Amino acid sequence: MPVGTLSYIPLLLAAVIQYNVKSEVSNSGLRSKYDGYGEEWIFMPDGNGKPQVAVLKGVDDNEARGVFDSFPITYILYTRDGPEKGENLYTNDTEALKNSNFSPSRKTKLITHGWKSSAFTSSIVNMKSAYLSHDDYNVILVDWEPLAASTFYLGPMKNTDRVGKDAGKFIDFLVTETGLKTQDVHFLGHSLGAHVAGNAGAATFSGKLGRVTGLDPALPGIHIFTTEEGRLDASDAEFVDIIHSCGGVLGFLQPLGQVDFYPNGGTAVQPGCCCIPEVMVMDVPIFTSLRVLTRRRD
């Protein structure tokens, strides 16, 4: 790549995102209702499903200066021994792991969030609680809120690679220190978090993860500027399943896993999906209820 080419990538990426957003919302009426909609910004749901403005042009000055490099990615462990009080774990912090309730004899669930969200949003916490009510798991919430918080969408999108690789190292750390089997690990992620989960699976050197689940894997920018090695795909675990609920706009419509589910067709025409600020829905609550009720594959 020629010297200086990298400086143009944010501009090129922004242009591609704008083109795709404009093409998807041109008939929605939102472009006529909101100045600059689809070109400079778009409504996207935060971790609680509430509409927030995502800026499609430029990058956050703090991210450009590398300020966010100082924020650690936190792994918060919950078990039936402590279902409400989490224990913070960090990669290579052997002492914290030793003093925690983590047990390699349990199956392990890692759950992570997407843009403008955190491990403490209601949808993520509800998934944690649902799993612990179902069985005795190690449930680890992966919190990368400082890296997902920017209103400038390009930054969090690019950070999915960094967070995924860090999570892969964390899983390797658990394997080395406790004897955890990678086939007993199930990583779930919503939106941008789905690609974090996939990247973590690809970055784990101890063995292939047992399962990765993508909940409406984020589409904007990902489909143009990342290959299968940079996003969630069917090779990231022994079993990869996807739920599509806003396909073609905020989420991928094309199959990404070994098994792909399309509630109501999986597209943005279903009620509440995508860009209407008055009503937004997410597939995380859908997955939470279905997963516990069906009691299918761990």
Domains along the sequence of the chain with CATH: 5-294 (3.40.50.1820)
pLDDT band at 2 (very low <50, low <70, confident <90, very high): very low
- CB 52, CB 42: distance < 8 Å: no
CB atoms within 10 A of CB 55: 18
Instruction: For residues 255 and 148, give the distance between their C-alpha atoms in angstroms, rounded to a whole number.
Output: 25
pLDDT tens, residue by residue, 21-71? 444 444 455 666 777 776 677 777 777 677 777 777 766 666 554 545 666
pLDDT tens, residue by residue, 96-109? 999 999 999 999 99
- Residue 17's H or E segment, with its range, is helix 9-25
- Using only C-alpha atoms, what is the Rg of the chain? 19
Instruction: For residues 295 and 76, give the distance between their C-alpha atoms in angstroms, rounded to a whole number.
Output: 24
Q: At 297, give phi and psi (nearest 5°).
A: -40, 135
The tokens describing 123, both together, are 């949808």
